[in-house]
């Protein structure tokens, strides 16, 4: 029953927080006014600025901020025990993450829908604007890369998810035109779309396999990289189309699909707990013994606070709040529902992930039986089913080195645990695996296309600030965003022997490339060695496996993401400081989110660099110049930003920032075309 109590207690806590702390912020701090003119009305163009019903914008906002962050992060963090992960998710969501999202949304709403970077230029200093925009640029580049790799990894490991994920695109376009051009009911259209998606889930699980890309024999063009390229090409198209054509309706449908899947998991947790199938206490340790951790595993302090990013607080959310959501909210009062409420729901998702990766995984390890083409519970040599702590240890303790755990293994823990929960209510494991895989890919896809649109805004703002005319064009800016994201996503993570090349003497093989970071401990014991007929040791030519560097990018994503949250808090604090408002509730989280990520970034950059602890890098990485270079740049920008804040702080109390220039007839686009979804 412990599993059930954790779930119910967490969900009730989030509901109470919404109606108490959220109400206090809404009424006493931000003073939301339903009569205020919002950017979606003031700047309406029916492309980016579109007045939207709060249910629809909530779906877009929630699916965009959620992504795979609250899935991959908790799936990794339970390594240190489920109690620390759970506490950070609950209290982090209520007092830090939801406040961060809510604050960024309100500040943007009251500044004509400007991004948090633009607002920083007026609230803090003009130099702060370009500094913040550069930080946003680097952060979004990493987001595009890592989320593209996550979806590509899902497609590779769970090909049954491919059809339902892609079928949502034409469905969304039809829904968009039906609602906006033919005055159709968006609820009916979404319901029909949802039925089609779930029918495709069934087809994907049992009948469709023609979409599988098997290009792994070609080391330079493996299936993960091919899917990443395809996904980025989709992002280019999605991010330049009007939001009502694809972004809004797809997110609306996805939000329903995701909520249905999460609802089924909650019911599954309930049934599994009542029937005694799930036992959190017996499956995973509440607090891990350091001696049991894999070699090279990072310390819980400070890495818990950057590993679980989106499940507790995420800097990326300020970009969604100020980049797209603030341009679509039709009533300022909706900001609490969208900004504060969506983050609490994401916290609930992270709680479900923790339970799935512990109690769910403990319900039994399963394998695909090739004869029956179904999943069956794995058994030991003695014929006993692998369940409980044995199943969890197989997932989290079976390999001696932390570098041996890849991105797919972490996502797989949630998929396996979630499918076990669904099996408790009678859903076959194979169908359950497809449902959860589509859940993960759907979350990541909505974040991916939103991030591309946000990066376009950032690049256009940087171009306008630096007076670079070509970047004012949205197609050029989007192209730059996609290409850079693809370049980062192509980071090789491991080396793979080329099957097309004959074995050659060892001395002729280059040991490491100068242009790629490798995971030495993540390779097989001697993957490049083979014995010739004469018994002489030979070595095949090794090629970098592009697109396999997800574990290189994840720690960089976590630290960058949380640094961005701290800086977004700084903008909110200055906004309130200039108006003589209470700031402690935002200032304390600001300090936490500036210190913890910087600490983690420095640890990653220097721990083991002198050779005293060769295996001490996060993910056990050697010569990680990608992380080191990005780390130096981001920390330098952060320090400069903090200095800018310190210099202006004494002068800003009760002094309002410079007002925005008056709108001209050309800038105040109030077209009546279209219809609010």
Reported as a single tens digit per residue, the pLDDT across 618-646 is 443 445 666 777 778 888 888 888 898 89
Q: What's the rounded Cα separation, in Å, for the pair 17 and 21? A: 5
Q: What pLDDT, on a 0 to 100 scale, did the predictor assign at position 496?
A: 55
Q: Is the confidence at residue 112, as pLDDT, over 80? A: yes
**CA dist., res. 115 & res. 96, Å (int):** 20
Q: What is the DSSP string of 63-123?
A: HHHHTTHHHHHHHHHGGG-HHHHHHHHHHHIIIIIHHHHHHHHHHHHTTTT--HHHHHHHH
* Strands 542-544 and 537-539, sheet pairing: unpaired
CA 112 – CA 193 distance, rounded (Å): 33
Quick one: pLDDT at residue 503?
Answer: 42
Q: Is 499 exposed, middle or buried (0-12, 13-18, 19+ CB in 10 A)?
A: exposed
Kindly state the average pLDDT of the residues 389-409: 79
Which residues lie across from 52 on neighbouring strands? 329
What long-range pairs does 530-536 form, CB within 8 A, spacing at least 24?
530/503, 532/503
Q: Which residue has the higher pLDDT, 326 or 399?
A: 326
Helix, strand, coil percentages (3-state) for the chain, rounded to 5, are: 65, 5, 30
Higher pLDDT, 441 or 468: 441
What is the Cα–Cα distance from 542 to 495, expressed in whole angstroms?
A: 6
Rounded distance, CA 120 to CA 567, Å? 9
Residues 6+ positions from 203 with CB-CB distance below 8 Å: 163, 164
How does residue 616 score in pLDDT terms, banded at 50, 70 and 90?
very low
Q: What is the mean pLDDT of residues 4-18?
A: 93
Q: Which of 118, 124, 141 is closest to 462 using CA atoms?
A: 118
CA–CA dist 292, 296 (Å, integer): 12
Mean pLDDT of all residues in 153-166: 84
Distances (CA, A) of 218 to 221, 542, 583: 5, 12, 56
Q: Dihedrals φ, ψ of 395, to 5°?
A: -85, -35
Confidence of residue 539 (pLDDT cuts 50, 70, 90): very low
Return the percentage of the chain with pLDDT > 90, whole number.
26
Cα separation of 167 and 515, whole Å?
38
Task: Answer whether residue 541 shows pLDDT above 60.
Answer: no
Q: Provide the sign of the torsion angle of the four alpha carbons 131, 133, 134, 140, taken in this order.
A: positive
| pLDDT of amino acid 379 | 81
Token pair, residue 458, equals 């950032």
CB 528 within 8 A of CB 502: no
Across 246-260, 288-302, 521-535, least confident range: 521-535
Average pLDDT over residues 341-347: 95
What confidence score (pLDDT) does residue 170 get?
87
What percent of the chain is predicted at pLDDT more than 70? 78
Q: 399: which residues sit within 8 A by CB, 6+ positions away?
A: 294, 405
Cα distance between residue 90 and residue 650, in whole Å = 35
Distances (CA, A) of 52 to 61, 240, 269: 12, 19, 34
pLDDT at 131 over 60: yes
180 and 261 Cβ atoms separated by less than 8 Å: no
For residue 317, how many other CB atoms are within 10 A of its CB? 33
More confident residue, 243 or 538: 243
Element containing residue 531 per DSSP (H, E): strand 529-531
The pLDDT-based confidence of 146 (bands split at 50, 70, 90) is confident
The total number of residues shown for the chain amounts to 677
Most confident of 82-86, 263-267, 647-651, 667-671: 82-86
Strand-strand pairing, 504-505 and 537-539: antiparallel
Closest CA to 42 of 474, 671, 660: 671
Nearest to 530 by CA among 494, 504, 559: 504
Q: Which residues contact 576 (CB under 8 A, 6 or more apart)?
A: 29, 582, 583, 586
Q: Is residue 302 reached through a cis peptide bond, with omega within 30 degrees of 0 on the bond before it?
A: yes
Q: Which H/E stretch holds residue 198?
A: helix 186-206
Average pLDDT of the chain, as a whole number: 78
Q: Give the model confidence (pLDDT) of 32-48 as tens digits.
A: 999 999 999 988 888 78
Q: Is the pTM of this model over 0.85?
A: no
- Give me the pLDDT at residue 18, please: 97
Strand ranges in 427-518 using DSSP code E only, listed in sequence order: 495-497, 504-505
Name the pLDDT band for 487 (thresholds 50, 70, 90).
Answer: low
Whether 353 and 116 have beta carbons less than 8 Å apart is answered as no
Unique residue bearing structure tokens 């069934």: 202
Q: Which of 79-83, 494-498, 509-513 has the highest mean pLDDT?
A: 79-83
Within 540-585, strands assigned E span: 542-544
- Judged against a pLDDT cut of 60, whether residue 507 lies above it is answered with no
Q: What is the pLDDT of residues 64-75, one digit of tens each?
A: 787 777 888 899
Distance CA 68, CA 64 (A): 10
Query: Mean per-residue pLDDT for 526-551?
Result: 45
> What band does 111 get if pLDDT is binned at 50, 70 and 90?
very high
- CA 503 – CA 497 distance, rounded (Å): 10
Q: Which of 28-32, 114-118, 248-252, 306-310 has the lowest mean pLDDT?
A: 248-252
Whether 153 and 550 have beta carbons less than 8 Å apart is answered as yes
- Computed on alpha carbons and rounded to an integer, the radius of gyration of the chain in Å comes to 25
User: What's the average model confidence in pLDDT over 212-231?
Assistant: 63
Domain boundaries along the sequence of the chain: 2-491, 495-544
190-229 in b/e form (b: 16+ CB < 10 A) is: beebbebbbebbbebbeebeeeebeeeebbeebbbbbbbb
From the number of C-beta atoms within 10 Å of its C-beta (0-12, 13-18, 19+), residue 458 rates as buried
Query: Which helix (H) or strand (E) segment is 368 a member of?
Result: strand 366-369
């Amino acid at each position: 029953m412990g599993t059930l109590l954790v779930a119910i207690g967490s969900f009730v806590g989030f509901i109470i927080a919404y109606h108490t702390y959220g109400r206090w912020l809404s009424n006493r701090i931000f003073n939301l006014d339903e009569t205020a003119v919002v950017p979606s009305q003031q700047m309406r163009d029916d492309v980016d600025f579109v007045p939207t019903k709060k249910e629809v914008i909530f779906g877009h906002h929630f699916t965009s901020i959620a992504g795979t962050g609250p899935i991959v992060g908790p799936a990794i963090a339970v390594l240190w025990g489920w109690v620390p992960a759970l506490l950070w998710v609950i209290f982090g969501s209520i007092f830090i993450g939801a406040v961060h999202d809510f604050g960024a949304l309100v500040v943007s709403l009251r500044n004509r829908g400007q991004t948090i970077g633009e607002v920083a230029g007026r609230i803090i200093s003009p130099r702060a604007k370009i500094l913040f925009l550069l930080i946003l640029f680097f952060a979004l580049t990493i987001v595009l890369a890592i989320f593209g790799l996550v979806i590509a990894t899902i497609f590779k490991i769970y090909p049954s998810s491919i059809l339902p994920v892609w079928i949502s695109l034409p469905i969304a376009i039809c829904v968009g035109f039906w609602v906006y051009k033919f005055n159709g009911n968006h609820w009916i259209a979404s319901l029909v779309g949802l039925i089609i998606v779930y029918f495709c889930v069934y087809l994907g699980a049992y009948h469709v396999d023609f979409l599988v890309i098997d290009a792994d024999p070609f080391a330079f063009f493996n299936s993960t990289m091919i899917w990443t390229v395809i996904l980025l090409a989709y992002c280019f198209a999605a991010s330049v189309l009007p939001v009502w054509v694809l972004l809004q309706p797809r997110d609306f449908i996805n939000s329903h699909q995701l909520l249905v899947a999460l609802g089924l998991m909650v019911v599954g947790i309930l049934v599994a707990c009542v029937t005694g199938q799930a036992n959190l206490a017996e499956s995973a340790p509440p607090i891990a013994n350091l001696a049991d951790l894999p070699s090279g595993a990072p310390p819980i302090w400070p890495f818990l606070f950057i590993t679980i990013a989106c499940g507790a607080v995420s800097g990326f959310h300020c970009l969604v709040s100020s980049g797209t959501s603030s341009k679509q909210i039709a009533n300022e009062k909706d900001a609490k529902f969208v900004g504060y409420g969506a983050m609490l729901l994401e916290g609930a998702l992270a709680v479900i992930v923790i339970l799935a990766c512990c109690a769910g995984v403990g319900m039994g390890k399963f394998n695909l039986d090739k004869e029956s083409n179904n999943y069956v519970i794995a058994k030991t040599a003695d014929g006993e089913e692998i369940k409980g702590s044995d199943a969890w240890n197989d997932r989290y303790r079976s390999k001696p080195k932390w570098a041996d755990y890849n991105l797919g293994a972490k996502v797989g823990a949630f998929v396996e645990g979630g499918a076990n929960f669904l099996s408790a209510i009678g859903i076959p494991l194979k169908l359950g695996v497809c449902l959860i895989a589509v859940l993960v890919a759907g979350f990541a896809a909505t974040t991916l296309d939103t991030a591309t649109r946000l990066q376009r805004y950032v690049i256009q703002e940087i171009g306008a600030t630096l007076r670079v005319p070509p970047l004012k064009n949205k197609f050029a800016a989007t192209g730059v965003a996609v290409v850079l994201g693809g370049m980062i996503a192509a980071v090789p993570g491991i080396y793979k022997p080329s099957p097309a090349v004959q074995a050659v003497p060892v001395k002729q093989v280059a040991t490491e490339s100068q242009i790629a970071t490798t995971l030495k401990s993540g390779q097989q014991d001697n993957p490049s060695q083979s014995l010739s007929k004469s018994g002489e040791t030979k070595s095949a030519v090794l090629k970098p496996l592009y697109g396999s560097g997800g574990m290189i990018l994840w720690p960089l994503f976590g630290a960058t993401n949380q640094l961005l949250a701290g800086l977004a808090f700084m903008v909110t604090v200055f906004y309130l400081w200039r108006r003589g408002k209470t700031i402690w509730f935002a200032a304390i989280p600001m300090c936490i989110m500036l210190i913890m990520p910087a600490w983690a970034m420095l640890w990653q950059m220097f721990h083991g660099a002198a050779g005293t602890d060769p295996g001490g890098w996060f993910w056990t990485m050697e010569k990680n110049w990608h992380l080191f270079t990005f780390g130096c740049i981001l920390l330098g920008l952060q320090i400069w930003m903090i200095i800018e804040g310190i210099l202006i702080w004494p002068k800003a109390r009760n002094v309002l920032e410079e007002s925005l220039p008056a709108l001209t007839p050309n800038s105040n686009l109030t077209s009546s075309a279209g219809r609010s979804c």
